[in-house]
């Protein structure tokens, strides 16, 4: 329910209540700051907010969320870890889906499943030959993912010098394209095309797309179990404000429906 703010002073003002704004405001509130979260639309969510047209609802946000897993080969997923920190993990329901995508090629259909064993089994069932090097390829992708994660979490760049094992693979493949690596590791065209099928998410064809980015993308799909949130990404939109309002007025959001301003305790 909309209500006037009881505060006239804030430590931080966050403009925009999309995923970034909601997350930033929630973390600041968690740190004890009084936060004003300002949103021009009548609802929070930004680009992940579903569109409504008559009786129809359209999801315009991410089709799948990765990092919602509470455990995995790389530890808890980033989304799960964030919601745990904010005390909102129990408020979101995530529903795993298998397969997460189906690849259709002339004369064959391949359902792509998450989980290393299910992924290899499914691909090998569709293409009995030509995938002898697939385990080594997935091992390389996992190493690159672990190394990239270590780089992102490093607090100081020179701290990476203490972890020399993570740098060689990143440096070796920093300029490699998907086609460079996959054509060498998977020379058989048909299974290689299936592996390359998700290239549109990278925005470039395999001849130009980064192998490093493809490796990170495929590792999250395979190892972190892609999950569509219940009704798309709505848990972000609906539940991230909860830890804000639960902190005794540590955050108020100002919402501007139509042309008039009003304020809510979320």
List b or e across 243-263, with b for residues whose CB sees 16 or more CB atoms inside 10 angstroms: bbbebeebbbbbbeeeeeeeb
The CATH superfamily label for domain 12-94+228-264 reads FAD/NAD(P)-binding domain (3.50.50.60)
User: What is the per-residue pLDDT across 57-102, written as a single tens digit (0 to 9) for each?
Assistant: 777 666 677 888 888 888 888 888 888 888 888 877 777 778 888 8
% of the chain at pLDDT higher than 70: 77
The vertex-237 CA angle with 57 and 79, nearest 5°, equals 120
Residue position matching structure tokens 């990092």? 67
Contacts of 265 (CB under 8 A, 6+ apart): 3, 5, 245, 249, 252
Give me the helices (H) in the chain, please: 19-30, 78-86, 116-126, 134-153, 167-172, 178-185, 189-196, 211-223, 234-239, 241-245
- Kindly report the pTM of this predicted structure: 0.73
Q: For the chain, how many residues are written?
A: 266
Query: Which one has a higher pLDDT value, 243 or 257?
Result: 243
DSSP string, 126-179: H-SSS-TTHHHHHHHHHHHHHHHHHHHH-SSGGGGGG-GGGHHHHHHTTT-BHH
User: What is the per-residue pLDDT across 101-127, written as a single tens digit (0 to 9) for each?
Assistant: 888 888 878 888 888 999 998 888 888
CA distance 86 to 26: 7
pLDDT of 255 reads: 44
Query: Which one has a higher pLDDT value, 7 or 1?
Result: 7
Torsion angle in degrees (nearest 10) through CA of 69, 202, 27, 58: -80
Nearest to 224 by CA among 63, 88, 71: 71
The pair of structure tokens assigned to 146 is 């672990």
User: What is the per-residue pLDDT across 2-28, written as a single tens digit (0 to 9) for each?
Assistant: 345 666 788 888 888 888 888 888 889
Terminal alpha carbon distance of the chain: 9
Inform me whether the pLDDT recorded for 260 exceeds 60.
no
pLDDT of 159 reads: 65
Nearest to 62 by CA among 179, 220, 197: 220
pLDDT of 254 reads: 47
The pair of structure tokens assigned to 92 is 């979101």
Find the mean pLDDT for residues 155-184: 82
pLDDT of 251 reads: 44
Find the mean pLDDT for residues 144-155: 82
Nearest to 73 by CA among 255, 220, 261, 248: 220
Beta bridge partners of 35: 12, 251
pLDDT of 241 reads: 55
State the helix-helix crossing angle for 189-196 and 178-185, rounded to 10 degrees: 140
User: What is the per-residue pLDDT across 190-217, written as a single tens digit (0 to 9) for each?
Assistant: 899 989 998 888 889 999 999 999 999 9
- Mean pLDDT computed over every residue of the chain: 78
Q: Report residue 69: phi and psi, to 5°.
A: -75, 135
Residue boundaries of the structural domains of the chain: 12-94+228-264, 101-223
pLDDT of 248 reads: 40
């Amino acid at each position: 329910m909309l209500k006037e703010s009881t505060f006239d002073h804030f430590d931080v003002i966050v403009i925009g209540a999309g995923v970034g704004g909601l997350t930033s405001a929630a973390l600041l509130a968690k740190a004890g700051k009084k936060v004003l979260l300002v949103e021009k639309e009548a609802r929070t969510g930004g680009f992940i907010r579903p569109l409504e047209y008559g009786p129809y609802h359209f999801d315009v946000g991410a089709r799948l969320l990765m990092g919602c897993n509470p455990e995995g080969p790389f530890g808890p997923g980033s989304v799960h870890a964030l919601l745990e920190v904010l005390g909102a993990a129990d408020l979101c329901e995530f529903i795993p889906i298998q397969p997460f995508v189906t690849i259709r090629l002339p004369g064959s259909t391949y359902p792509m499943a998450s989980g290393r064993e299910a992924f290899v089994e499914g691909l090998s069932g569709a293409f009995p030959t030509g995938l002898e090097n697939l385990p080594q390829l997935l091992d390389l992708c996992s190493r690159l993912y672990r190394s990239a994660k270590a780089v992102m979490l490093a607090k100081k760049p020179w701290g990476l010098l203490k972890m020399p094992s993570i740098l060689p693979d990143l440096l070796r493949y920093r300029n490699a394209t998907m086609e460079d690596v996959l054509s060498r590791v998977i020379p058989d065209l048909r299974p290689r095309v299936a592996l390359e099928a998700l290239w549109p998410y990278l925005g470039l064809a395999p001849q130009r797309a980064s192998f490093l980015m493809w490796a990170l993308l495929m590792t999250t799909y395979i190892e972190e179990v892609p999950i569509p949130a219940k009704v798309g990404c709505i848990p972000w939109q609906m539940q991230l404000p909860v830890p804000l309002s639960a902190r005794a007025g540590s955050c108020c959001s100002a919402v501007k429906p139509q042309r008039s301003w009003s304020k809510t305790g979320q």
